[in-house]
Structure 1
Amino acid sequence: MSDVDVIVIGSGPQGLAAATSLACEGLTVLVLEKADHLGGAVVSAEATLPGFVHDLYAMSMNLFVGSAFYEKHRVELQENGLEFVVSAHPYASAFPDGTSLKVSTDEGDTLKMWRAHSSADAEGWQRLGQLYDDFTQVYFPVYSSPLPSKSIASAFRGLWKVRATTPPAQLLQLVLSSTRSFGDRYFTTPEAKSLAAAWGMHLDFAPDIASGALFPLLELYGNMRSGMSIVKGGAGKLPAAMARMIEVRGGEVRVGAEVVQIQTDGRKATGVQLSNGEVIRAQRGILTTTPLPNLVNSLLSKQSVPSKMAEAARTYGFGPGTFMIHLALKGPIPWLDQELSDVCYVHLAPYVDDLARTYQQAVAGILPDEPLVVVGQPSVIDPSRVPNPNQHTAWLEVRAVPSEILGDAGGDLSEISWDEARDIFAERIIDKIERYAPGFREQILAQVAFSPVDLERVNPNLVGGDSVSGSHHQQQLFGFRPSWSLNRYATPVNGLFIAGAGTWPGAGVNCVSGPLAAERLLRDTHPSKRAFRRSR
Structure 2
Amino acid sequence: MDECDVVVIGAGHQGLVAATVLADAGLSVVVVEANPTVGGAVQSGEVTLPGYVHDLYATNMNLFLGSPFFAKYGAELCNEGLRFARSAHPYASAFPDGANLRVTSDQDTTLAMWQEHSPADAAGWGRLRELFEAFAAAYLPIYTSPQPSWVAMKSVREVWRHRKSMPPGDLAATLLSSTRALGDRYFSTPEAKSLAAAWGMHLDYAPDIAGGAVFPLLEMFADMLGGISIVEGGAGRLPDAMAALVKARGGTVLTGARVARVDVDGSGARGVTLADGQRISARHGVVSTVVLPRLVQDLLADAAVPNGMSATARNYRFGPATFMLHLALDGRIPWRDPRLSDFAYVHIGSYVDDMARTYQQALAHQLPEAPLLVVGQTSVVDPTRVQRAGQHVVWIQVRMVPSQITGDAGGRISGTHWPDVREAYADRVTDILEAHAPGLTGQVRARAISSPDDLERANSNLVGGDSISGSHHLDQFLMLRPSLGLSRYRTPIPRLFLAGVGTWPGGGVNAISGQLAAETLLRTLRRSRFPQIRPGSRPSSSVHPG
Give the TM-score band, short-chain normalised.
Answer: over 0.9
5 Å-filtered alignment, 1:124-523, equals 124-523=124-523
| Range moving further from structure 2, 415-424 or 428-437 | 415-424
SS of 1:304's partner is: coil
Amino acid at match of 1:258: R
TM superposition shift of 1:530: 8.0
Structure 1: gaps spanning 5 or more residues: 532-536
Q: CA deviation at 1:487?
A: 1.1
The equivalent residue for 1:87 is 87
Residue 175 of structure 1: how far off its partner (Å):
2.0
Query: What is the SS of the residue equivalent to 1:146?
Result: coil
State whether residues 414 and 421 of structure 2, in contact with CA within 8 Å, keep that contact through their aligned partners in structure 1.
no
The match for 1:46 is: 46
1:285 and 1:525 in contact (8 A); partners too: no
1:413, distance to aligned residue in structure 2 (A): 2.6
**Contact 2:415/2:421 (<8 A) preserved:** no
Asked if 1:121 is matched to 2:121, the reply is yes
Shift of 1:162: 2.8
The 8 Å contact of residues 137 and 158 in structure 1, kept in 2 or not, is answered as no
Classify 1:530/1:316 alpha carbon distance in 2 versus 1 (closer, same or farther; 3 Å).
Answer: farther
CA contact (8 A) 1:266 1:304 kept: no
Hey, what's the Cα distance between the residues in 1 that align with 2:318 and 2:440? 34
TM-score normalized by the length of structure 2: 0.96
**Post-superposition offset of 1:303:** 4.0
Q: Which residue pairs with 1:20 in the alignment?
A: 20
Cα distance in 2, alignment partners of residues 264 and 523 from structure 1: 21
Residue pair 2:365, 2:407 contacting (<8 A) in 1 also: yes
Letter in 2 for 1:203: L
Q: 1 CA distance for matches of 2:527 and 2:227?
A: 45
Tell me how far 1:526 sits from its aligned partner. Answer: 3.6
Instruction: Tell me the CA shift for residue 414 of structure 1.
Output: 4.2
Tell me if structure 1 keeps the 8 A contact 2:67–2:512: yes
RMSD, matched Cα: 1.1
Contact 1:263-1:273 within 8 A present in 2 as well: yes
The alignment partner of 2:424 has SS state of: helix
The structure-2 alpha-carbon separation of the partners of 1:370 and 1:276, relative to structure 1 and needing over 3 Å to count, comes to: same
Determine helix, strand or coil for the equivalent of 2:528.
helix
Offset at 1:152?
Answer: 1.7
Q: How far did 1:274 drift?
A: 0.6
Give the secondary structure class of the aligned counterpart of 2:30. strand
1:534 paired residue number: none
- CA distance in structure 2 between the partners assigned to 1:126 and 1:527 by the alignment: 49
How far off its partner does 1:111 sit? 0.1
Provide the C-alpha distance between the structure 2 equivalents of 1:528 and 1:400, rounded to a whole number of angstroms. 47
| Equivalent position of 1:68 in the other structure | 68
Q: Aligned partners of 1:280 and 1:420: how far apart in 2?
A: 41
Which secondary structure does the structure 2 equivalent of 1:70 belong to? helix
Matched residues in 2 for 1:204 and 1:398: separation? 13
Identity of aligned residues (%): 56
Tell me which amino acid in the other structure corresponds to 1:146. P
Structure 1 CA distance for aligned equivalents of residues 216 and 156 of structure 2: 22
Q: Which amino acid aligns with 2:117?
A: H
Partner deviation per Cα, 1:186-221 (whole Å, 9 max, x = no partner): 000000000000000000100000000000000011
Q: Distance in 1 between matches of 2:317 and 2:266?
A: 29
Equivalences, count: 531
Residue identity matched to 2:96: P
Query: Deviation per CA, 1:289-343, whole angstroms, max 9, x where unpaired?
Result: 1111001000003542011100010110000000001111111100001110010
